[in-house]
Amino acid sequence: MVTLHFGGYRRGVIPDASDPPLRPRPLGSRTLGPRTPGPRTLRADAERNRELIVTAAARLFADRGLSVPLEDVARAAGVGVATLYRRFPTRTDLAVAVFERNLAAYVEVVDAAVANPDAGPAFRTLVEDLCALQASDAGRRAILTTAFPAGSALEQRAADTVEKVRTVIERARAAGAVRPDVGVGDVVVLLLANAGVLEATADHAPGAWRRFAALMLDAFCTGERRELPEATPAEGLRRSIAMLTGKGPTDDRKGAPRG
């Protein structure tokens, strides 16, 4: 038998006359055993499970807040609880993964404001969009009240985003579009307050945050005042306060709970 070599590698053989005749292998003579997943398959499965868990957690955190039972997250993701804990040993680990996804939405809004050459509208739009993001997802609201691990990539991204907000504010101040004493801390306090408004009014006055944000912008900005969004009906606010205090709304004339 003559062996052919290409570049030092054995590539094939050519039989010569001295070789015994080749006998075809009968069909079905090879038995195939069960396929064992290789490293790539295992990695793909693990990554798919991780994505399912984070997606489910983001949805449940948005609807029910961060205190949702992790068993509910596993059920919504279609994985076992053991699989969830393998990927995310603690609730904080899972929250950080969800925050990474949520923070990306904030970063996009802030980057758009930085790219807007018109300093005044850039600041106003930034505040409006940040408040709207909070209103759209309860999980996003939790970002502002969560301490990320020191030195983590998530903490660094959050710090970088705050610096970009500072840049937008400084440009607006230089343009005379906002009060000269407004700082990044004022925007952070506004967002914390807006989170509280959203939490308190979610059931009975879900649009209350819009007027609150507009009033705060009027306090920050100079120049002509804009028309405010429609005022929240007093009854909706009254019901929200009653829910917070644990007392149901009552009929003032009779002093009895309303049906």
Domain boundaries along the sequence of the chain: 43-89, 99-233
> What is the rounded CA–CA span in Å between residue 256 and residue 38?
68
Lowest mean pLDDT among 211-215, 240-244, 245-249, 250-254: 250-254
> What is the rounded CA–CA span in Å between residue 224 and residue 115?
24
pLDDT of residue 240: 65
H-only helix segments in the chain: 39-64, 70-77, 81-87, 91-115, 119-136, 138-141, 153-174, 184-201, 208-220, 234-245
Please state the rounded mean pLDDT for residues 105-109. 90
Joined tokens for residue 79: 């994985």
CATH classification code of 43-89: 1.10.10
Tens-digit pLDDT profile for residues 73-92: 999 999 999 999 999 998 88
> What is the rounded CA–CA span in Å between residue 138 and residue 258?
29
Joined tokens for residue 238: 């009254």
Place 101 in a pLDDT band, splitting at 50, 70 and 90.
Answer: confident
Q: Do 99-233 and 43-89 fall under one CATH topology?
A: no
Please state the rounded mean pLDDT for residues 99-119. 91
Strand-pair partners of 4: 12
Tens-digit pLDDT profile for residues 36-77: 555 556 578 888 999 999 999 988 987 887 789 999 999 999
Percent of the chain with pLDDT over 70: 71
pTM above 0.75, yes or no: no
On the question of pLDDT at 31 being above 70, the answer is no
Options 3.30.2000, 1.10.10, 1.10.357, 3.10.310; CATH for 99-233 is: 1.10.357
pLDDT of residue 213: 94
pLDDT of residue 214: 95
Q: SS3 sequence, 146-200?
A: CCCCCCCHHHHHHHHHHHHHHHHHHHHHHCCCECCCCCHHHHHHHHHHHHHHHHH
Number of other CB atoms surrounding residue 142 within 10 Å: 19
Tens-digit pLDDT profile for residues 162-188: 999 999 999 999 999 999 999 999 999
pLDDT of residue 8: 40
Percent of the chain with pLDDT over 90: 42
